Amino acid sequence: MKKVFVIDTIKFASLTELYNRLKPALECRANELKRKGYKYIKPEDIWNSLKNYKWNAANDLSLHDMVDDILNTPDEYFIKYLFNILKNTKRDINFEEENIL
């Protein structure tokens, strides 16, 4: 059975559809963060952090609540999210010779 997401009276057949609906707000916030000097935060980071941690635990979430979260969540929330991803990522030394100038 295919899962249907209902937010307000709008039905989204997938998270992809919901993401596409929220994409203008996500891009707007990413551009705002870029102007503040956080050039490494992308719309996908904003989506992933809110989806995985804030919205996952929410009940009766409306589309306007989601847009409000995108636009008004403190910058530090997204910075901390990316820091935790980086902290938990295994980083290796690159010994490939073709990358040497």
Closest CA to 75 of 44, 27, 41, 43: 41
With a pLDDT cut of 70, the percent of the chain lying above it is: 88
H helices within the chain, ranges in order?
A: 15-35, 43-49, 63-72, 75-87
Distance CA 61, CA 12 (A): 13
Give me the torsion for CA of 8, 9, 15, 19, rounded to 10°: -70
Strand ranges for 1-101 from DSSP E: 5-7, 10-12
Average pLDDT, the chain: 88
> Quick one: pLDDT at residue 8?
58
Residue 2: which pLDDT band, with cuts at 50, 70 and 90?
low
Q: CA angle at residue 1 from 26 to 19, to 5 degrees? A: 5
- pLDDT of residue 23 exceeding 70: yes
**pLDDT value at 69 more than 60:** yes
Query: Is residue 7 over pLDDT 60?
Result: no
Question: For the whole model, what pTM was predicted?
Answer: 0.80
Looking at the DSSP assignment, which residues form a beta bridge with residue 11?
A: 6
How far apart are the C-alpha atoms of 27 and 70, rounded to whole Å? 10
